[in-house]
Amino acid sequence: MAINNIIIERWHNSDIVLLGGSAGAFKLLFRVIKCLSPDLGKTVIIIIHRKRNFLSEMEKLFAKNATMKLNEITDKEPVKKNTIYIAPANYHILIEKSGHFSLDVSEDVWYSKPSIDVAFESAADVYKDRCTAILFSGANQDGAQGLLQLRNNGSLTIVQHPKDAEMTHMPQAAINIGAAEYILRTEEIFELLEMG
Amino acid sequence: MSDAPVGITEPQLYQLIDFVKKIHGFDFSDYSKASLKRRFSRIMMLKKLEFYELKHALINDLNFFQWFLEEVTVNVTEMFRDPSFYKALNAQVIPYLSSFPHIRVWSAGCSSGEEVYSLAILLDGAGLNEKTFIYGTDINIEMLNEARKGIYSLRKMKSYTENYQLCDLPGLLTDHFTIMYDAAGIHNELKQNTLFSIHNLVSDHVFNEFQLISCRNVFIYFEAELQEKILGLFYKSLCPLGFLCLGSKETIRLPDFKSKFKVINSRENIYQKIGDQ
């Protein structure tokens, strides 16, 4: 499946880009951060599974390499364009209709906090067809249900081709329940992201 | 498990808020809506209820309401959650607190009491147990009963122990507990200086004067206006130069916050009361 004009048009109409991943997604997301143009005109939100208690160097590493502004999400922070937001460890993230983030410390979902499902489901409520969501490599099925909800609400949903994913469980789970509108090869995903 | 794919609608959300307020007197109208919506949807999924059935249960079944309240208010907590916070507290706040003749602590939104006992262990370790008294408050009776017991499953104790080790505190967490089969109970000398009681941050008022107030990961469930109101309550409840601890991601964006509180640790969100007194 290659990138077609419909995908491109919907990408351009998206105000918000959601990126989810777990095991095997770090390097990819690092590359994403490097390639995104600082005046993309969209909000980018990254939810990657991470271990609690360890102040990871991830934000620092990401911030150093991003050309777009990059923040770890704090409670009630306004959702702004041309900013990359990273979900903090040991919190779920939710998006409010009023245009800001809320955090949540409730039960883990699929053994994960932040959970990709929780973030995706709340974004589905707010952004509908003004959203592009991409699910990358991972070793559990978090994200699949949320991606399905996004798809049902009109968002553009893309899953990394399991052939390219280091861990296939996460993308495959999304494909299995029909959450993936498009299954793209890694290089095709980057082609889209680099369109600006 | 993930949430049910279809939750409640926006109008249903506001209907429920109105319902709970009118029938049970709990006002959730200034709670963060995205989170509340998720909790309500989760309740319907857990009990396999349609919306009208949920309303029916809320009107007719008082036991259901207690359970409902527990599920709506998030009660997930840990002992020594965020070890870096406890390290900062130990290094930057405890030495200051030790200079007060007595130390009254308020853990607001204490849930099952883990934070209260974590603070008790920390203050005891600094030799301050004798002059310390810790109040834990919550809106949830069941949670307060759990907190009073001070008994935690060994499964939980395992992850609490990991946290404890990362705090660089002496010995083991279990040194402060008595192990009983598959659970651990906090030692009596730590428990005797604690009191758990009902208090609703939304509707209740100042009830004592404190040297330290800890309210971590509670504000995330409130909208900004309610946060502001409760900050006012905390300000009034603190003694001059008393300390306020918020969750590390709970950034306060109020312009006059800076004139009322001095930043002690910006990463861990620890503040000290300054300004008019």
Please report whether residue B78 resides in a domain: no
Q: Is the pLDDT higher at B277 or at A17?
A: A17
Please report whether residue B117 resides in a domain: yes
CA distance B216 to B51: 32
Domain boundary among B72, B101, B120: B72
CATH 3.40.50.300 fits A5-193, yes or no: no
pLDDT band at B6 (very low <50, low <70, confident <90, very high): low
pLDDT band at B276 (very low <50, low <70, confident <90, very high): low
Q: What total number of domains does chain B contain?
A: 2
CA distance B267 to B250: 10
The reply to whether B253 touches chain A by the CB within 8 Å rule is yes
What ipTM does the predicted assembly reach?
0.89
Domain boundary among B48, B72, B96: B72
3-state SS string for B206-233: CCCCEEEEEECCCHHHECHHHHHHHHHH
CA distance B78 to B83: 11
**Annotated catalytic residue, options A49, A92, A161, A169:** A49
Tell me: the pLDDT tens digits for B76-112?
Answer: 899 999 999 999 999 999 999 999 999 999 999 999 9
Element (H, E) at B135: strand B132-138
**Residues in chain A whose beta carbon is closer than 8 A to a beta carbon of chain B?**
53, 55, 72-77, 88, 90-91, 94-98, 102-107, 109-110, 115, 117-118, 121-122, 125, 142, 145-146, 148-149, 152
Domain that holds residue B243: 83-273
Instruction: Give the burial string for B49-59 (b: 16+ CB within 10 Å, else e).
Output: eeeeebbebbe
Please report whether residue B258 resides in a domain: yes
Query: Would you list the domain boundaries of chain A?
Result: 5-193
Same domain membership, residue B147 and residue B24: no
Same domain membership, residue B140 and residue B30: no
Please report the pLDDT score of residue B1 as a whole number: 39
CA distance A177 to A171: 10
Tell me: the pLDDT tens digits for B150-169?
Answer: 999 999 999 999 999 999 99
CA distance B23 to B210: 34
Note if A169 is an active site residue: no
CA distance A10 to B240: 56
Same domain membership, residue B41 and residue B128: no
Please report whether residue B106 resides in a domain: yes
CA nearest to B160 within chain A: A53
Tell me: the pLDDT tens digits for B247-269?
Answer: 999 988 888 888 999 999 999 99
Same domain membership, residue B67 and residue B89: no
**Annotated catalytic residue, options A117, A142, A161, A164:** A142
CATH number of residue B225's parent domain: 3.40.50.150
Cβ proximity of B123 and B94 under 8 Å:
yes
Instruction: Give the residue from A17, A19, A68, A73 showing the smallest Cα distance to A43.
Output: A17
Q: What is the mean pLDDT of residues B29-38?
A: 95
Q: What is the mean pLDDT of residues A142-161?
A: 97
CA distance A102 to A74: 8
Indicate the residue type of B174: T
Please report the pLDDT score of residue A195 as a whole number: 87
Instruction: Give the residue from B113, B104, B108, B109 showing the smallest Cα distance to B134.
Output: B104
Element (H, E) at B61: none
Cβ proximity of B220 and B250 under 8 Å:
yes
Same domain membership, residue B122 and residue B27: no
Nearest to A104 among B3, B220, B223 (CB): B220
Domain boundary among B47, B72, B97: B72
Tell me: the pLDDT tens digits for B134-146?
Answer: 999 999 999 999 9
Same domain membership, residue B203 and residue B162: yes
Cβ separation A76–B227 shorter than 8 A: yes
pTM: 0.92
What residues in A contact B247, CB-CB < 8 Å? 75, 103
For residue B8, which phi and psi values (nearest 5 degrees)? -85, 160
Tell me: the pLDDT tens digits for B226-248?
Answer: 999 999 999 999 999 999 999 99
